[in-house]
Structure 1
């Protein structure tokens, strides 16, 4: 098993090095006329980027001093996103490069290399005609033009590649930092009494407070949630990426969450990487009610919560029987469960609605295809048997503070009674 892991790691490393060599060749070597400040600067960037990225990953996993995690986090994780879009943009650049080359050659009045001119061989014994001075001058002037055209084409394509990658990451990062947007959906529940028609649950997931997203981001989330004036707030896991000691101050604004029926919390997989027991106590002190395989009876329906699947590694996994057993099955029940994959147990236990996160909607296109392969539902409302499942894309981001094709959201789920 260890041998397989080492071989896989070496293959990933080799692919990573090959990508950066390709990027250096196309974006630095081919766009500069020779050694100089521009080439040295480009080379330095393409060496420092991956070093910072691996440094950020190692610092986070090794629980390095928090100041070091923060120092490496921004440039390192942003480079992770930039790598992805440089790869996609470079692949597109290779496809259009021949077209750009032909277009430039035509505009210069020169036939592309692929076109071979037909020539008529001279008759035996014939003396070749003397070249006119003007023709000779034109031929000589064309000699240095070829490398100039190649350099021009490389700069046009390389500039487009770099602009597309940096622009995509820049816009995706701005979208995260400005805070999640509010999304609203209505979910009819057969067992919901008429008196609870219009009950609003603000669903918040995957805030991922850590070395990059801190206290200011938490405050924006709290302000956005409170502005929706929900009846209940459901925080469905992956609140943090770090210890209470490091991130307690960043999570402090959560004490400002306001809802008529309170705020509730269940663990996500990242809580178990960060000290789940400590965070459960911390959110309790902040005024949230942790539901650890537990259920509470609200006036119109039951609200239940189960631990994340990652908790099984600590003997604290989800226990549906404990959370949902011996309940009044005539009442509607809403379940908070971090991962959409928990829906199948929810169906077996007669849950009416499950609220989940975890997927980030893929976060970085084309990551949505990977998320689709690993989860029954990536985002939005779905139905499994008699159970509805809603998956939010989450409020924050893991790793790169960047989203592309999967905007962050806080969802207000409005429950509808079929008796209304």
Structure 2
């Protein structure tokens, strides 16, 4: 097992190194002159970036000291997002590159085709060598008698090279086409590379700003056939995937709490992936959750990241903060039942989801709302006649085109969907895992307003 893990790790590292070398070629080597300071700086960035990224991931998973995780997290995780969009932009630039080059060649004077694209030093050396070869070819051989230089007559009077009598110089030396071709290639590489780098930095910067300013509020109405008229308009604030950790801390938790409380919900549902770290490290960051306020209280179910962070300790911590953990359990509210199941990741610890325990022996004439972190759990919910399942986990893809990857692994990526008689709502989540960045999947807190068909 260890050997397999090592081999997989080495394969991943090889892929990461190969892709970064590709970026180095396009963004550094092709846009700079040899041995210049710009090339050295670019090389350092494209070596330090992936090193910090991998180190940050390892530090988080290995439970390194929290100060070290925080030191590595910002540069390492931001590089992860920047790398993704640099790759996408540079690959897109491959289609633009030949078009731009062709346009420049049409506007430039005709040149002889170049065999290579030498760098400036190479072109200079080639020109010098070629000139030396011409001089040797034109020089008289050692065995041939030297002709005496004429001191009089027409041959004695030679116009200076710059004088009008000398005539125009040859338009291009034999090395000039290669140098001109290299210059065009350098210009194209700089334009394409600069545009790619700018697009990636702007995309990541805006996506990071979107996360740090806090989640927006979505409002969705969900009709339930079994909901009594008295509960028409009942509001559930759904928040998932807050991901408190070395990047998003106490200040972010306070923004989430303030946003939820401002909606004045009847009930709050925290559907997993609250944290990325231990209670010891993140207890202070989670403290603002104690100020969550709703008429029927706040409820919590575990997500997969809780099982990476000490799920049992976090269940006790959220209970201490005033939330009600639903560990494969159900509670009866005045108008409907509220149930919750553990995340699938708990199966490795013998604490996986138990739908029979959470939903068995209930009054099936009453509506039931289920809290389950992963959308894929809806298939079991259908079997147990759940009316509405509330989930998160997908982040809506978080970083486009991650939504296509999320769609391959989840029945629903975001929004309201129906499976048989069960409705499923998936939130994009309030925070972010890894890079504190979202592109094409803005963070949200959703207020679900239940509607009675009898109203």
Work out whether the TM-score is over 0.5.
yes
Aligned length: 403
TM-score by length of 1: 0.93
Please show how residues 311-390 of structure 1 align to structure 2 within 5 Å. 311-390=346-425
SS at match of 2:99: helix
SS at match of 2:316: helix
Partners in 1 of 2:297 and 2:81 — Cα distance?
37
1:168 aligns with 2:203: yes
Equivalence for 2:441: 406
- Structure 1, unaligned runs of 5 or more: 115-131
Contact 1:102 1:112 in 2 (8 A): no
Deviations 1:96-117 (A, max 9, x none): 1001111222232447959xxx
Partners in 2 of 1:90 and 1:2 — Cα distance?
36
Equivalence for 2:286: 251
Equivalence for 2:170: 136
The structure number with the bigger radius of gyration is 2
Deviation for aligned residue 1:323: 0.9
Contact 2:113 2:177 in 1 (8 A): no
Partners in 1 of 2:100 and 2:305 — Cα distance?
47
TM-score by length of 2: 0.86
1:303 aligns with 2:341: no
Partners in 2 of 1:375 and 1:286 — Cα distance?
31
**Closer/same/farther in 2, CA of residues 301 and 36 from structure 1, 3 Å limit:** same
Please show how residues 90-101 of structure 1 align to structure 2 within 5 Å. 90-101=90-101
Equivalence for 2:107: 107
Partners in 2 of 1:303 and 1:111 — Cα distance?
77
Partners in 1 of 2:73 and 2:57 — Cα distance?
8
Please show how residues 195-210 of structure 1 align to structure 2 within 5 Å. 195-210=230-245
Equivalence for 1:288: 323
Partners in 1 of 2:389 and 2:167 — Cα distance?
84
Moved over 6 A (4+): none
SS at match of 2:171: helix
Deviation for aligned residue 1:384: 0.7
Deviations 1:281-331 (A, max 9, x none): 111111111111111111111111111111111111111111111111111
Please show how residues 154-303 of structure 1 align to structure 2 within 5 Å. 154-303=189-338
Deviations 1:143-181 (A, max 9, x none): 632222111111001101111111111111111111111
Partners in 2 of 1:373 and 1:387 — Cα distance?
21
SS at match of 1:152: helix
Partners in 2 of 1:163 and 1:408 — Cα distance?
24
Deviation for aligned residue 1:3: 4.8
Structure 1 window deviating more from structure 2 (64-73 vs 101-110): it is: 101-110
The structure 2 residue matched to 1:148, chosen from 174, 180, 183, is: 183
Equivalence for 1:39: 39
Partners in 1 of 2:2 and 2:278 — Cα distance?
29
Equivalence for 2:60: 60
Contact 1:106 1:112 in 2 (8 A): no
SS at match of 2:450: strand
SS at match of 1:229: coil
Contact 1:105 1:112 in 2 (8 A): no
1:24 aligns with 2:24: yes
Partners in 1 of 2:270 and 2:111 — Cα distance?
64
Deviation for aligned residue 1:142: 5.6
Partners in 2 of 1:112 and 1:222 — Cα distance?
68
Deviation for aligned residue 1:407: 1.0
Equivalence for 1:14: 14
Q: What is the CA RMSD across the aligned residues, in angstroms? A: 1.7
Partners in 1 of 2:33 and 2:25 — Cα distance?
12
- Structure 2, unaligned runs of 5 or more: 115-165
**Closer/same/farther in 2, CA of residues 180 and 113 from structure 1, 3 Å limit:** farther
**Closer/same/farther in 2, CA of residues 197 and 149 from structure 1, 3 Å limit:** same
**Closer/same/farther in 2, CA of residues 112 and 253 from structure 1, 3 Å limit:** farther
SS at match of 1:144: helix
Partners in 2 of 1:185 and 1:333 — Cα distance?
18
